[in-house]
Chains A and B, each alone.
Chain A
C-alpha cells in the first residue's frame, strides 16, 4: 500500500516538473511577435545591462529558441538542455551562465528559508497546540490571536517595517545584504557572525508572519483532536496533563500540520522572495528581482524553473516522510 501511495506522490511530482518545463518553453512562444526581437527590444528599451556583444547575444537567443526547427524538435531540445542544466546565459552579465547565477544565490535562500520555516513551524505549532488546550493560560490565547492576525499580512510588508525600525531608526541590524561588505563567506567566526547578523531581520520577517498561520492551523486541529475518544480515555487513565497534551493531543494534531507544511512550501517561498528583495538579501529572490529590473529573461526563466522543480521535490520528500509519522497511512494508502 505504501508503494501505491509513494507512486501517486511521485507521479504528481513528475507532472509538476513536466508542467513547469512546458510552461517555460511555451510562454515566450505564445506571445505575439518574434520572441527574440521582443526580448531584445525590451532589453534595449530599458537601457538595461552592459549591452556589450549584441551579436553574441542574438546568436545565443537563436541557439536557444532554435526557431527555424519544427516546434516539437524545439521542445525536445529544450528538455535536453534542462536535463543538462543548461539554462542559457545571462543577458546583462553576458557570458555568465544562468545556472551559475542561480547556484550563487541558492545557499542564501535555502539557509534563510529553511531556518525561518523551521523556527516558525516549531513556535507556531506549539503556540497553536496551547491555544487549543483548555488548561493553557488565557494569556496564551490572547497572544496567539494577535499573532494570528499578523499571519494575513504579506511577509515583505512586515519586513519593511522591521527594516525601518531596527536598521534605520534604531541602527541595531544592518539594512541589507547577506554579510558585511567586502567579506567572503567561509567557515570562520567573523563570517558566520556576519551572516547571522544580516540574516536576523529577514528571518524575523518571515517568522513573524508565518507563526500565526501555523498556530491557527494547529489550534483547529488540536480542538478537534481533543474531542476524540482516545483523549477521553487518556484522561480517564489518570495520565499526567503534560503527557496527554504532548503524546495524545499534539502528536495526533501534528500530522495534518505536516501535510500543510508540504502544501505551504510554495506560498512560503513566494513570500521569502519578496523579503529578500526588501533586504537586498543575495538569494534567488533578489536575483529574480534584479533580473526582472534588467529584463534578463533567461535568468527569470531559470529561477522560475528551479523554484517549481525544487518545491515539487521538497513536497515529494515530505510526502515520503509523512507515512513514517502516521502509522495509519502505511496501512491504508491515503
Chain B
C-alpha cells in the first residue's frame, strides 16, 4: 500500500460532563490508502460520529485527549484553527447526516457552493463560476439550473446530492460521509450512495462512510471497522468480517441482518442492548 491518506493513531476523545469526564472514543487506530473506501459501523453513541467530528475538529464540547491524526502525512493536532479552516473541504470534506436541514434555507444553492470557492481562494473568470457550479451539479446527477433554486424547492435526495457536489467542489483527497442516507427512503438511499461512489471513483478520493446499516455498508466499502462503546472492536476486509466475525458484537450485528444470501439468518436478535439504533 502506498503512503496512507489518513492515519489515526490511538485517538482518545473525552467530553467533560457534570458527572466527570466521559471518554467517547478510546484508543482508536485505523488508516486509509488513496481511493480506499472504509466503513465505520456501530450503534448510536458508539463513538463513530465523534471520531469523524474529531477529524474535522468540530467537536462541540469534546476534546481530543490523546493520539495522532495524520492527513497526507501532516499532523492535524498541531494545526492552528485558521490552518484547519483552510484545510476543511480542500483536503478533507464532509457529507453531513441531516441533508434535509444542512442547507442554508435563505441562500440559493449556487450561492452556497460559490461560498466554498470564495473562502478557499478559488478564483473564476466572470461567468465561469456559474458554469463550474453547473458542472459540479451535473456530476451528481442534477440539472445545472438547480443552482438557482432554494433548498426548500428540492427533495431530500436532491439536497443530499447537492451536499455531495459540495464535498467534491475542491477535489479533496478524503471524504467523510456521516450516515449520508439515514434520512432518505430506501430507494433514494441506494441512488445517493451510488452517486457518492461514482464521484469518489472519478476523483480518486478516499472515503470514510459511517452508518449502522451493515447491509448497505457491505455493498459500498472494501474494509470495515466496528465500533462499540467508544472502541474499535473489529477491523478488516468486508468479506472477512462478514464470514468470520471475531467480536461478539459484530456477530450480533451480522446475525440481525435479514439477509438473502445468508441462509438461516432469520433468527431473533439477541436481547440486552441488541441492535443498532
Contact = CB atoms under 8 A, between A and B. Distances in A.
Is there direct touching of A and B in the complex, by C-beta distance under 8 Å? yes
A238 B118 CA distance: 11
A97 interface: no
A77 interface: no
Contacts of B119: 237-240, 243
Nearest to A327: B150
Contact of B115 (A237, A252, A325): A237
Contacts of A332: 152
Interface centre among A237, A248, A326 (most CB of B within 10 A): A237
Contact of B116 (A239, A251, A325): A239
B105 A238 contact: no
> Mostly helix, strand, loop or mixed at chain A's interface?
helix
B29 to A, nearest CB: 24
Contacts of B105: 230, 252, 327-328
B58 A247 contact: no
Contacts, number: 82
A241 B119 CA distance: 10
Contact of A247 (B85, B90, B104): B104
A237 B152 contact: no
Interface residues of A, number: 25
Contacts of A230: 101-105
B115 A243 contact: yes
A238 B98 contact: no
Interface in A320-334: 325-328, 331-332
A236 B96 contact: yes
Nearest to B60: A232
A232 B101 CA distance: 10
> What 6 pairs between A and B have smallest CB-CB spacing?
A238-B88, A229-B101, A236-B94, A229-B98, A233-B102, A229-B102
| Interface band, chain B | 20 to 34
Interface of B: 56, 58, 85-90, 93-94, 96-98, 101-107, 115-116, 118-120, 150, 152-153, 163, 166
6 contacts: A236-B94, A237-B89, A240-B85, A243-B119, A251-B106, A328-B106
Contacts of A233: 94, 96, 102-103, 163, 166
A96 interface: no
Contact of B152 (A229, A243, A331): A331
B163 A236 contact: no
